Chains A and B, each alone.
Chain A
Amino acid sequence: MRVLVVEDEPDLLRTIAQVLREDGYAVDEAADGQEGLYKATSWNYDAIVLDLLMPKLTGWQVLEKLRTTHKTPVLILTARDGINDRVRGLDGGADDYLAKPFHLVELKARLRALIRRSLGLASSQIDVGELTVDTTAKTVTRGETLLQLTPREFSLLELLALHRGKVVTRTQIYEKLFDESDDSLSNLVDVHVSNLRRKLGKDFITTRRGQGYILHD
């Protein structure tokens, strides 16, 4: 999962990005509206966290311009909590609204819900054969046994599980797993895939040479 955080308060931007990274997201940061709009339109993010009062472009303006081309789920995170602000934000194309100050757990939960909705999932659990991927608890169980995965391994499995039965290209994996600050070495994906195979068992992930990977039911 890859998200964009647009926030002009540097400390807050750093904190939100940090907590989302620890949660296994690939996080891109933007410090003002213009940068935010540029990044939001150049990648297909799974979600965007957007502040409203920012230099250069306000959150409303970013949203208005973004909505002409992209359907990316947007969560507005702002200190303006008047009813009018909320209505204006939601009507302007935002999918959720959270007022500052906020709890990080709530932000994370709302982001998960937002992404789940955009993927058309009914629950936070994805069942693939005897594997159960819980996107909320960030756990994977095979039958009764709980598997120990690193956040990045989990994200990779989550991505494959969401697209189970379909080929996921290496480019897609790069886009969703690594943010702009990661030094994306080309064999990093192979490393994670082989680690996953070791932990899950060889049969789950199949390599389609020249195309990508696929997770079978």
Chain B
Amino acid sequence: MIRSIRGRLQWWYAAVYGVSIVVFGFLVYWRADRDVNERATLQAVSTARYLDVSLRGVRPGPMRDAGQMNPPSERGADQFSSDFSLGPLPPELQFRPPGARRPGMGPPGDRGPRSPMGPKGRLGPLGPLDFVRPPESFLEDDKVQPPLDRLAFTVWRRDGSVLARSDGVEGDPVFDMQMPTGVALPPRVFRGKGYIDAVMKGPQEATILVRRPMGNDIANLHQFGFQIAGMAVGTFLVGILGGWWISGRMVQPIQMISETAAQISAANLNRRIDTSRLDQELVQLASVLNGTFERLETSFDRLTQFTADASHELRTPLAVIQSQMELALSQSRSVEWYQQTLETCLQSSERMRSLVDGLLLLARTDSDHAELRRQTIDLRSVVEDAVAQLQDRALSAGLELECAAPEMIVGVNADIRFLMQVPVNLISNAIQHTPRGGKIFVEVRIEVTDAVLSIRDSGCGIAAEHLPHLFARFYRVDTGRSRRYGGSGLGLSICKSLVESHNGSISCDSIVGEGSTFVVRLPLSDSSTDQALENKHVP
């Protein structure tokens, strides 16, 4: 499973998908957490400021601190929100001269719980320090959002005594707020476990502390976190299942290809992969495979044909031998009968021997060209030897066999044991297929860098339709005819194989009724090439 494409695809997909879901979940959670914190901080800071302004509202000499009513840029605020601002002050917080204390204490004051302590200010050195508006009313103020947790505050005088304090249960740790020391003038924010504090210096060095408990918010946040995690797991599972399905679909064509390939066996080579239903990438693969199957089938067919032909050629003389023997042994015969039987058997075995020799020679030239022991030999002498060897046969067939060769040496780089076969085969072929009284003309010549051997006969010729197959193994122009002459059907293919193993080429031109010309071209050896080129310049 791990090593399968589908498995790996699935693993990688699951990993990437899982990581992105986790990252996305964390981002969402972080963002929500930040929002909640920011909002809480904003509430704490703004409430602290309202308290501060409310305190200042009763101060006689306001000028000095006027600039602090709307501080242009303060660290505490900037830390949390850049667009942090309080907005316009409520009208009751606008500065009023002393004596006009709390004229419109109406709605905010009436609503909400009044502090039991009330604004019981004690006169400090600079005058009485008191709120223009009951400080608890600010806790009700929901300019931003109704807080989930109640805000709490404490205001200390310079000497550390409590000026005002919000409602709360005594001893509740949330409200058990110690007076902070060394706090700067602008609001500063402190984060504790489960709360956020905003602290600032008010008028007459009073210290204002607003605490925003976070318990409910954190619980909500956690709940949100669990929801996200749950959804992530769900999405992940759905995604994995979908991925498994998709990867299955992706892999399916590969399976189809391998199934088709598996169905292709020696007995059934004609099956092909259907490329019409495949994707582009796989079409290429399938075409490559189909091409391979095609070649496999062709070579297999050729092999089958070759085996059938070879066995056919071997069986016929074998059948002769066997039936002759059987007939001779079926009853007692005359001595002449036995003699004739043995003679026939000898001829047949001779035929089989030449066929086996031919097959072996073909197999050898097919398999290993390196076996050739090459040396520079004179093509003229090879051809003249072959002509001399076959002269008798030509004469007894009533044919004229002539040979022409140039004065100079025609050197070719060849293995004489094998090369000798070529002119012998071609000339015997010509003898077989030329009617009595005909003529065979053998010529060796040099053409540029090639040694050329041409054998022309005045035989019956070969029809054009046969020429392309002429050098194929066991190909017969007329089925059975060459058998009458004792040919095996291998002669020409052996010639072709031998010539090609010597880097040469063989071809045939023929006109029906006029005769055929076989032309063999072999590359001249280096010394002969030089000589040939030299001679070309001399005349």
User: Do A and B bind?
Assistant: yes
Q: What is A's interface to B at a CB cutoff of 8 Å?
A: 8-12, 15-16, 18-19, 22, 32, 53-56, 58, 79-82, 99-105
CB proximity to A under 8 Å, residues B179-237:
none
CB proximity to A under 8 Å, residues B292-319:
308, 311-313, 315-316, 318-319
- Tell me if A12 and B316 are in contact (CB < 8 A): yes
Contacts of B282 in A (CB 8 A): none
Q: Per a CB cutoff under 8 Å, which of A8, A19, A22 touches B323?
A: A19
- Tell me if B315 and A12 are in contact (CB < 8 A): no
Contacts of B396 in A (CB 8 A): none
Q: Per a CB cutoff under 8 Å, which of B319, B321, B480 touches A53?
A: B480
Q: How far is the CA of A6 from the CA of B477 in the complex (A)?
A: 21
B324 located at the interface, meaning its Cβ lies under 8 Å from any Cβ of chain A in the complex: yes
- Tell me if B330 and A100 are in contact (CB < 8 A): no
List the 10 closest pairs (A to B, CB-CB), nearest first.
Answer: A100-B319, A79-B315, A101-B319, A55-B480, A79-B312, A101-B318, A15-B323, A104-B326, A100-B315, A11-B320
- Tell me if B315 and A11 are in contact (CB < 8 A): no
CB distance from A84 to the nearest CB of B (A): 9
Nearest A-chain residue to B318, judged by Cβ: A101
Q: Per a CB cutoff under 8 Å, which of A32, A54, A80, A101 touches B322?
A: A101
Q: How far is the CA of A28 from the CA of B330 in the complex (A)?
A: 21
CB pairs A–B below 8 angstroms (16 shown): A11-B348, A15-B323, A19-B323, A19-B327, A53-B480, A54-B479, A54-B480, A55-B478, A79-B313, A80-B312, A100-B315, A101-B315, A101-B318, A101-B322, A101-B323, A105-B326
- Tell me if B320 and A53 are in contact (CB < 8 A): no
CB distance from A195 to the nearest CB of B (A): 22
Nearest B-chain residue to A99, judged by Cβ: B315
Given contacts A79-B311, A101-B319, 7 further A-B contacts (CB under 8 A): A9-B483, A11-B344, A19-B327, A53-B480, A54-B479, A100-B315, A101-B321
Nearest A-chain residue to B347, judged by Cβ: A11
Q: How far is the CA of A104 from the CA of B501 in the complex (A)?
A: 45
Nearest A-chain residue to B312, judged by Cβ: A79
CB distance from B12 to the nearest CB of A (A): 52
Contacts of A103 in B (CB 8 A): 322, 326
CB distance from A21 to the nearest CB of B (A): 11
Contacts of B331 in A (CB 8 A): 22
B484 located at the interface, meaning its Cβ lies under 8 Å from any Cβ of chain A in the complex: yes
Q: How far is the CA of A39 from the CA of B323 in the complex (A)?
A: 24
Contacts of B348 in A (CB 8 A): 11
CB distance from A108 to the nearest CB of B (A): 10
- The prevalent SS among residues of A at the interface is loop
- Tell me if A104 and B327 are in contact (CB < 8 A): yes
Contacts of A10 in B (CB 8 A): 484
Q: How far is the CA of A182 from the CA of B330 in the complex (A)?
A: 23
Q: How far is the CA of A36 from the CA of B319 in the complex (A)?
A: 20
- Tell me if B479 and A12 are in contact (CB < 8 A): no
Q: How far is the CA of A47 from the CA of B324 in the complex (A)?
A: 22
Contact A8 B311, CB 8 Å, known A101-B319, A104-B323: no
- Tell me if B319 and A79 are in contact (CB < 8 A): yes
CB proximity to A under 8 Å, residues B322-341:
322-324, 326-327, 330-331
Q: How far is the CA of A207 from the CA of B478 in the complex (A)?
A: 52
- Tell me if A102 and B322 are in contact (CB < 8 A): yes
- Tell me if B479 and A104 are in contact (CB < 8 A): no
Nearest B-chain residue to A105, judged by Cβ: B326
Contacts of A58 in B (CB 8 A): 479
Nearest A-chain residue to B343, judged by Cβ: A11
CB proximity to A under 8 Å, residues B462-480:
478-480
Q: How far is the CA of A80 from the CA of B311 in the complex (A)?
A: 8
Nearest A-chain residue to B345, judged by Cβ: A11
Q: Per a CB cutoff under 8 Å, which of A9, A82, A105 touches B308?
A: A82
CB distance from B204 to the nearest CB of A (A): 119
B249 located at the interface, meaning its Cβ lies under 8 Å from any Cβ of chain A in the complex: no
CB distance from B188 to the nearest CB of A (A): 101
- Tell me if A55 and B479 are in contact (CB < 8 A): yes
Contacts of B478 in A (CB 8 A): 55-56
Q: How far is the CA of A22 from the CA of B328 in the complex (A)?
A: 12
Contacts of A16 in B (CB 8 A): 323
Contacts of A9 in B (CB 8 A): 316, 319-320, 483
B481 located at the interface, meaning its Cβ lies under 8 Å from any Cβ of chain A in the complex: yes
Q: Per a CB cutoff under 8 Å, which of B308, B318, B326, B479 touches A100?
A: B318
Q: Per a CB cutoff under 8 Å, which of A53, A81, A101 touches B479?
A: A53
Nearest B-chain residue to A84, judged by Cβ: B308
CB distance from A81 to the nearest CB of B (A): 8
Q: How far is the CA of A81 from the CA of B308 in the complex (A)?
A: 8
CB proximity to A under 8 Å, residues B341-386:
344, 347-348
- Tell me if A12 and B323 are in contact (CB < 8 A): yes
Q: How far is the CA of A32 from the CA of B481 in the complex (A)?
A: 10
Nearest B-chain residue to A77, judged by Cβ: B319
Q: How far is the CA of A91 from the CA of B311 in the complex (A)?
A: 23
Contacts of B479 in A (CB 8 A): 53-55, 58
Q: Name the residue in B316, B322, B478 with the highest tally of chain A Cβ atoms < 10 Å from its Cβ.
A: B316
